Structure 1
Amino acid sequence: MLLNAYIDHTLLKADATVDAIKQLCSEAKAYDFYAVCVNSYYVALAHSELRNTPIKIASVVGFPLGASISNAKISEAQYCIDNGAQEIDMVLNIGLLKSNYYKIVEDEIKAIKKTIGDHTLKVIFENCYLTNDEKKMACKLAVHAGADFIKTSTGFGNGGATLADVKLMKNEVGNQVLIKASGGIRDTKTAQQYIDLGVSRIGTSSGIAIVSS
């Protein structure tokens, strides 16, 4: 599979303008990326820009901290689906995971998956804040809750994807769910290393550089 088919072309910056989102969508069409990933406010705009194309729209929920109340995350996820998103990248509640409140974390993931139905749910761990045991627990909770993907990072924490984390995640989940690597992946060589480890998607704002070099 060509590299472009792995790319979630991403723009989540606070200062992203309407024109910048339109440019993101134009680039996704030009390079035939798998999806664009935008904040929830811009889902409807991306849907309009990508109408009649096969490019998917992913939106983040509870981003980037994961600390929103569950009802807010559920409402945001529903809004995104209603306005044209096919994929939801939710941030799990990092603080509750670290507090060993595992049932609450799992129930929230379940509730969002129930809300979006057959649409794709990716659960963002933000691995830079987690111990290896916490990463393994997050894997278990996401699998039990019915997630479709687990994802390394938001790109807004103090560290992004690492090869070691993806190996750990892959060892924990096997083929039960897919893996998305995100955060700091900016060149072809690095992207290929993650693909060789078994990731199915790469979240990056450097998609053009990755497929052009």
Structure 2
Amino acid sequence: RVKIYEAMEAVILGADELDMVINTGNACAGKWDAVRKEISDLVTATPDTVHKIIIETCYLRDEDIIKASIAAMEAGAEFIKTSSGFAPAGAVVGDVGMIKQATKGKIGLKAAGGIKTLSNVLSFVEAGATRIGTSSGTSIMKEVR
């Protein structure tokens, strides 16, 4: 409930995109209906908003990454995001490829966490990322020159 309330407040204040971390405890426990419902409740409560669902891939087994990604897609989210940046590890190229394959490219995919070089960016895009989250944008752009 608190996540939904905060999301609605953010939209009232002008947000047009929202990031929400799934309940990792529910995901690790296999409570996929609860995960899907939380995402669906967010999407329903904040229409006309881009919803990026953070699944914190470093905490999940491969099969749970796939299930979390499918849950986000089925619940109506526009993007799956690999990491919030606060977890101990960030994006992994193999995870991005696995998510793209599981969702058949029907949902956007934001690779985030630990992406620091142009080579990293290109690897993630090749694996299926449609957005990149990085705090190293300036140094990456210098590599382009």
Using the size of structure 2 for normalisation, the TM-score is: 0.94
Matched, 1:87 2:17: yes
* Aligned match for 1:143, one of 49, 55, 73: 73
- After TM superposition, give the deviation of residue 175 of structure 1 in Å: 2.1
Match of 2:84 in 1: 154
Matched, 1:104 2:34: yes
Matched, 1:185 2:133: no
Match of 2:6 in 1: 76
Match of 1:199 in 2: 129
Match of 2:63 in 1: 133
Structure-2 separation of matches of 1:175 and 1:79: 31
- Structure 2: gaps of 5 or more residues: none
Larger radius of gyration: 1
- After TM superposition, give the deviation of residue 101 of structure 1 in Å: 1.3
Residues 74-117 of structure 1: per-residue CA shift (max 9 Å, x gap): 01111111111111110000001111111111100001011110
Secondary structure class of the residue paired with 1:141: helix
Secondary structure class of the residue paired with 2:115: coil
The residue type paired with residue 81 of structure 1 is V
- After TM superposition, give the deviation of residue 212 of structure 1 in Å: 2.1
Structure-1 separation of matches of 2:69 and 2:125: 19
The residue type paired with residue 109 of structure 1 is I
Check whether the contact 2:66–2:99 (CA below 8 A) recurs between aligned residues: yes
Secondary structure class of the residue paired with 2:33: helix
Match of 1:122 in 2: 52
- Structure 1: gaps of 5 or more residues: 1-70
The residue type paired with residue 189 of structure 1 is S
Match of 2:102 in 1: 172
CA RMSD of aligned residues (A): 1.0
Secondary structure class of the residue paired with 1:160: coil
Identity of aligned residues (%): 37
Using the size of structure 1 for normalisation, the TM-score is: 0.65
Structure-1 separation of matches of 2:91 and 2:53: 14
Structure-2 separation of matches of 1:197 and 1:136: 15
1:36-51 aligned within 5 A: none
Structure-1 separation of matches of 2:31 and 2:125: 33
Match of 1:43 in 2: none
Aligned residue pairs, count: 143
- After TM superposition, give the deviation of residue 198 of structure 1 in Å: 2.2
Secondary structure class of the residue paired with 1:175: coil
